[in-house]
Amino acid sequence: MKTSTATVSIAGDLGEKLAAIAKAGFDGIEIFEQDFISFDLSPADVRKMVADQGLEITLFQPFRDFEGLPEGPLRQRAFSRARHKFDLMCELGTDLMLICSSVHPAGLGGIDRCADDFQELGEIAKSYGVRVGYEALAWGRFINDHRDAWEVVRRADHENVGLILDSFHTLGRKLDPDSIRTIPGDRIFFVQLADAPAIDMDLLYWSRHFRNMPGEGDLDLPAFMDALYATGYDGPLSLEIFNDEFRRGDAEMVARDGHRSLINLMDDLRRRSDRPAPSLPVLPERVDVAGVQYVELACKPDDISEIESLLTKVGMVKTGTHKSKQVARFQNGNVNILVNSDPAGRSFDLASEHGAVVSEIAFTTPDAAAAHKRALALGAEPVALPHQAGEQNIPTVRGVAESLIRFLDPTMDIWASDFEKPDGSGPAGTNGVHSIDHIAQTMGYDEMLSWTQFYTSIFSTAKSPMVDVIDPEGIIRSQAVTGQDGGLRLTLNGSEARRTSAHRFVADGAGATVQHLAFAVNEAVEMAEHLHQNGFSILPQTENYYADLAARFDLPEAFIAKLKALHILYDEDESGGFLHFYGTVFGNGLFFEFVERRDGYDGFGAPNAPFRLAAQRRMAANAPAG
């Protein structure tokens, strides 16, 4: 199936939209009439511009209030408007027009009256060599259900008249998508797709402001696609997304997200299909992440001693140095932190500009080449890094902001091929931190949907509902993305408020990147005691927090006293408890978290996030200037 998008889905003027749409890899566009009218080029020039971008115009839209009008001037006017648009379509080089169901106050409705109008229009369309497709708007005055629109098309019985389906109008009205299965695929001329979050509001307002990309909302797009596929429909799948964020967002990002959502939707459809699906793209499996093999911190030579001292206090041991780069490996249990201070690399530029930042995250996957291939098919940007003979050539894509995501698999033993043991290095520690529990990435709110989609389409993951975290100066939104078996846990945090800590981190730092690394420990209490003895500074919490803890949970007094003495935060879900605490901020706003999950606790301690943020703010306010 061809991929297409309505120009209305993307920000910018028509030229900017086309460039972004072409770059994202779409086959075609729906020209939204307003975008054309407000653009200062002739139809012939627009036609050439579209062709020059390697695109085709799949649809011209919308044509409103056509059918069911009373005999007389109103009806005649509707037909003459249509002739004007057919002329324009011929100049633009497109053969299909969308007619959405009428909301005209003078409309009379009536299936046969409407069918007669379409029959007559079909004859006119035929003389122009064009076709018309009829779409039931969810708020159409008489026709607001695709089953009724199909009945009009069926009775019009004209080869130039077909049906247009729009997932929003069907699913938004909670119509059963299986009712599509009785429509012949060749009578469906075009399909528009949009998702939307589950919000109970006026249909028109919901549709015009809150639509989003397939997979980003709560509508049952897979059921819609299954039903559509059963009809044999093989035409374009086109995004028609009215969304305030997208319209003021980055055109290239929104176009790339849109294309990714369609490829992902088709990939899922092919996997569910019980018969060969030659028109659907073939992608490698979703990537199962077994764990984080390493996280690389980029730092300037001046900062090495501070970072190394922090890692040593955490119990990590330097067990390797890179053979060809100034990179040290710090290890404990399954945790590997690379400290990169190589003056020749990109990491150095990052650190010079921003201070110590996370520059790379390497995931352990079953097949690194396949993972890379899937990521590229879903719009990830490939990055080629130099490597010496004998070292691994690690498949890499650009991740959040300027960080990189690297794919490793069991055939790639980087520790043997790329690293050597420094003189006098001891064995890796086994106490304390044993793995990376989760990675928290911070970004602008406008990028959250994009990165959520990136992770959920490329990797085998699920997202949990978004939560709002109260920062002393605004709201931070947090979206958790988790894989199976805890191999991949990410929290994506975004903020629009100008002064929240998430926003400051983004504005002051490397665009958007990792804000904290959470280490899994067996015994949080033991770890906190150990860190305290080693002079590692733990983020202090308030007396009031522990008084409240006693009220919130039924916990022994002595236990709460212990938590309080060590500044450990506590949470519970239906399965178990969660003990966690934080180190103080270093580098470019980075900090470590230490977490103990008990009995399958599945969350991230979100109820405690406001107290962490407030504590960090108190620390920053009390820090000496300079």
- Distance in Å, CB of 137 to Mg ion, minimum: 8
- Distance in Å, CB of 279 to Mg ion, minimum: 22
Residue 516, strand partner residues = 440, 591
Helices 501-508, 609-622: axis angle to 10 degrees equals: 60
The piece of 31-39, 161-169, 554-562, 570-578 that touches Mg ion (CB under 5 A) is 161-169
The piece of 12-20, 235-243, 547-555, 584-592 that touches Mg ion (CB under 5 A) is 235-243
Q: Give the tokens for residue 8.
A: 């209305």
- Distance in Å, CB of 42 to Mg ion, minimum: 27
The piece of 31-39, 73-81, 189-197, 288-296 that touches Mg ion (CB under 5 A) is 189-197
- Kindly tell me which of 61 and 319 has the beta carbon lying closer to Mg ion: 61
The piece of 35-43, 185-193, 241-249, 304-312 that touches Mg ion (CB under 5 A) is 185-193
Among 94, 192, 238, 453, binds Mg ion (CB under 5 A): 192
The piece of 19-27, 162-170, 179-187, 219-227 that touches Mg ion (CB under 5 A) is 162-170
Residue 166 as a binder of Mg ion (CB under 5 A): the answer is yes
- Distance in Å, CB of 566 to Mg ion, minimum: 17
- Kindly tell me which of 98 and 287 has the beta carbon lying closer to Mg ion: 98
Q: Would you give the binding string for Mg ion spanning residues 557-576, x where CB under 5 A is met?
A: --------------------
Cα–Cα distance, 127 to 77 (Å, whole number): 19
The piece of 191-199, 342-350, 379-387, 443-451 that touches Mg ion (CB under 5 A) is 191-199
- Distance in Å, CB of 519 to Mg ion, minimum: 10
DSSP tally for the chain: helices H, then strands E:
21, 25
- Number of C-beta neighbours around residue 322 at 10 A: 18
- Kindly tell me which of 161 and 518 has the beta carbon lying closer to Mg ion: 518
- Distance in Å, CB of 605 to Mg ion, minimum: 6
- Distance in Å, CB of 166 to Mg ion, minimum: 4
CA dihedral sign, ordered 71, 75, 80, 82: negative
Q: From the CA atom positions of the chain, what is the Rg in Å? A: 28
Cα–Cα distance, 236 to 259 (Å, whole number): 13
Residue 579 as a binder of Mg ion (CB under 5 A): the answer is no
What stretch of H or E contains 5? strand 3-6
Q: Give the tokens for residue 62.
A: 């919308």
- Distance in Å, CB of 82 to Mg ion, minimum: 18
- Kindly tell me which of 207 and 396 has the beta carbon lying closer to Mg ion: 207
Contact 18, 252 (CB under 8 A): no
Residue 238, strand partner residues = 4, 192
Cα–Cα distance, 27 to 8 (Å, whole number): 16
Residue 240 as a binder of Mg ion (CB under 5 A): the answer is yes
- Kindly tell me which of 407 and 451 has the beta carbon lying closer to Mg ion: 451
Q: Give the tokens for residue 544.
A: 């009031």
Q: Give the tokens for residue 458.
A: 């490329």
Which residues, in sequence order, are CB contacts of 131 under 8 Å at separation 6+?
A: 95, 96, 97, 125, 160, 161, 162, 189
- Pairing outcome for strands 514-521 and 569-572: unpaired
Residue 67 as a binder of Mg ion (CB under 5 A): the answer is no
Which residues, in sequence order, are CB contacts of 416 under 8 Å at separation 6+?
A: none
The piece of 68-76, 467-475, 495-503, 599-607 that touches Mg ion (CB under 5 A) is 599-607
Contact 381, 397 (CB under 8 A): yes
Contact 152, 122 (CB under 8 A): no
Q: Give the tokens for residue 236.
A: 């374009």
Q: Would you give the binding string for Mg ion spanning residues 13-32, x where CB under 5 A is met?
A: --------------------
- Distance in Å, CB of 58 to Mg ion, minimum: 13
List binders of Mg ion among 491-520 (CB under 5 A): 518
- Kindly tell me which of 64 and 154 has the beta carbon lying closer to Mg ion: 64
- Kindly tell me which of 419 and 578 has the beta carbon lying closer to Mg ion: 578
Which residues form the interface with Mg ion (CB under 5 A)? 166, 192, 240, 518, 593, 604
